[in-house]
Structure 1
């Protein structure tokens, strides 16, 4: 069973808020792609491309929730966009790192 950092982070977010809900859905989508991709022996680049396609909806919802929360907190649009980009990238990099680790582990 694959337990990932992204899954742990997903479970730690409080329920009932748009950012937390978006974060959980995005993280769950990313995590769900790992096992099938490992079984298909996708390269890291193909895995990342697959994430972009298969988790696009969840990424968009998460990104919009982060933007809305940041703007509501008074952050300028450019800063809010950078924050959303950083948060999305952090999740993708974490799951990509886990994927690369599993890929390099002899079975």
Structure 2
């Protein structure tokens, strides 16, 4: 789980949206806008978000490379816009998911409908 926290911290430091439940190894982030990046890193995407499951074989070096490419993608292709007002990205950026937009705090995922 420390590696997942490292990924969360790197993405957050880069100014991108993400969340991590403190008891999970899954980091939810805004979907990259470049399909080649999604395919290269085999990201699981749904609507305007993606998630990464940080398995034990994932190293900090690999995370650094991923975040480097993620930031380059955002700079070159722009960032994902919410697909709808009540979509996953809007919820990801909401404090109801446990933290502030771009500077998340580890917390419990909860949704308000």
Asked whether the two chains share a fold, i.e. TM above 0.5, the reply is no
Higher strand share: 2
Higher helix share: 1
- What TM-score, normalized to structure 2? 0.27
Name the larger-Rg structure: 1
